[in-house]
Amino acid sequence: MDKLEGLVAEIAAEMAAQTERGKVASYIPQLGKVDPKQFGIAVTLADGRIVCGGDADTRFSIQSISKVFTLTLALGKIGDALWRRVGREPSGNPFNSIVQLEYERGKPRNPFINAGALALADVILSGHRPREALGDILHFIRHVADDDSIAIDQGVARSEQETGFRNAALANYMRACDMLESPVDFVLGVYFHHCAIAMSCRQLAMAGRYLAFSGRQDGRTVLSPERARRINALMLMCGHYDGSGEFAFRVGIPGKSGVGGGILGVVPGRASVCVWSPGIDEQGNSRLGRLALERLTQGMGWSVFGPQG
Ligand code: GLU
């Protein structure tokens, strides 16, 4: 067993024994039913090796981790014109803040808060029907994960559609400011469905390889090295909402969380990592997920801010 395998096994055992696990996201009723006593971790390396621990093959709702993939697609579609639609500064506010959107006149602060992701969905929708836009998103994720079995959990999508009043408020406000092109219902439909995609840690760690390895995976280019760098920068600054500073401070790598309890982490040039534990903290980030990543980056000396002293 090498150092990484030993550490991953240790982290999985440690997380299984934790009693403080955070709370599952019950504001989306279907997510409220998930058993909080689960933990998974998967790490893919430059040589193609994948090291897993705990419930690494259990599928969960990827929620906002999907925004990394929709950002990649939206940038591919309209390039730098995207920055006229959405900013790239940390929000310092909750992920579904209405107040911030109002004082910034409908232009979301960054692509990873909910309003920003609605703008991305609108860009991907442009010229398409909702079914086609969703098909493009799913196709891209299956491609980068190299797994055609990845699908949308329709129960979660319905649950969010029935209760997503705050997201509807954000989308309607953006439409009132002329910041959305497609009908609000279409934009919300695409957004709720891509958040409801179900994947395992192993599948997400595979899907994140292009961000860890300068836009390339399996010998093919997924996007330019410059774009991969920029997406990583946004993940570092904005990937954990108003918990992004704390995540950078403790973990020290670009990461994107989802309220399903997953976190996709990128160690540039070295690894793509996914951890999952359904209990989240007040900022909407997986409690044990962050702890596990902190242990991993410390143990491996993987912080982008410098090695362990
Ligand atoms: N679908 C979730 C929402 O709109 C995403 C939030 C998250 O994962 O951070 O509330």
Q: Which atom of ligand 1 is nearest to the CA of 191?
A: 1
CATH of 65-197, one of 3.40.50.2000, 3.40.50.720, 3.40.710.10, 3.40.50.12780: 3.40.710.10
In this predicted structure, what is the pLDDT of residue 309? 61
The helix (run of H) or strand (run of E) holding residue 197 is strand 197-199
Phi, psi dihedral angles at 264 (to 5 degrees): -100, 125
**Active-site amino acid positions:** 64, 67, 191, 241, 259
Q: Are strands 50-54 and 271-276 parallel, antiparallel or unpaired?
A: unpaired
Q: Which sequence spans correspond to the domains of the chain?
A: 3-63+198-300, 65-197
Give the CB-side neighbour count of residue 301, counting CA atoms within 13 A. 5
Alpha-carbon gap, residue 309 to 301, rounded angstroms = 9
Helix (H, G, I), strand (E, B) or coil at 43: strand
Q: What is the pLDDT of residues 61-117, one digit of tens each?
A: 999 999 999 999 999 999 999 999 999 999 988 899 999 999 999 999 999 999 999
Give strand pairing partners of 280.
23, 286
In this predicted structure, what is the pLDDT of residue 196? 98
In this predicted structure, what is the pLDDT of residue 307? 77
Identify whether the C-beta of residue 296 lies closer than 8 Å to the C-beta of residue 279. Answer: no
User: Is the CB–ligand 1 distance for residue 215 below 6 Å?
Assistant: no
From ligand 1's centre to the CA of 306, what distance in Å? Answer: 32
Identify whether the C-beta of residue 196 lies closer than 8 Å to the C-beta of residue 188. Answer: no
Q: Does 160 show up as a binding residue in the annotation?
A: yes
From ligand 1's centre to the CA of 120, what distance in Å? Answer: 14
pTM reported for the whole predicted model: 0.97
Give the CB-side neighbour count of residue 259, counting CA atoms within 13 A. 25
User: Is the CB–ligand 1 distance for residue 258 below 6 Å?
Assistant: yes
In this predicted structure, what is the pLDDT of residue 155? 97
3-63+198-300 against 65-197: fold identical? yes
In this predicted structure, what is the pLDDT of residue 134? 98
**What percent of the chain clears pLDDT 70, i.e. is strictly above it?**
99
Smallest CA-to-CA distance from 240 within 295, 296, 285, 304 is with: 285
From ligand 1's centre to the CA of 305, what distance in Å? Answer: 29
In this predicted structure, what is the pLDDT of residue 17? 95
Reading the block at residue 280, the tokens are: 């989240």
Only one residue has tokens 């999952």, namely 276
Alpha-carbon gap, residue 115 to 159, rounded angstroms = 19
User: Is the CB–ligand 1 distance for residue 113 below 6 Å?
Assistant: no
Smallest CA-to-CA distance from 172 within 75, 164, 35, 18 is with: 164
Query: Which residue ranges of the chain lie beneath pLDDT 70?
Result: 308-309
Q: Does 167 show up as a binding residue in the annotation?
A: yes
Q: Which atom of ligand 1 is nearest to the CA of 258?
A: 8
C-alpha dihedral sign at 275, 56, 72, 82: negative
Q: What CATH code is assigned to 3-63+198-300?
A: 3.40.710.10
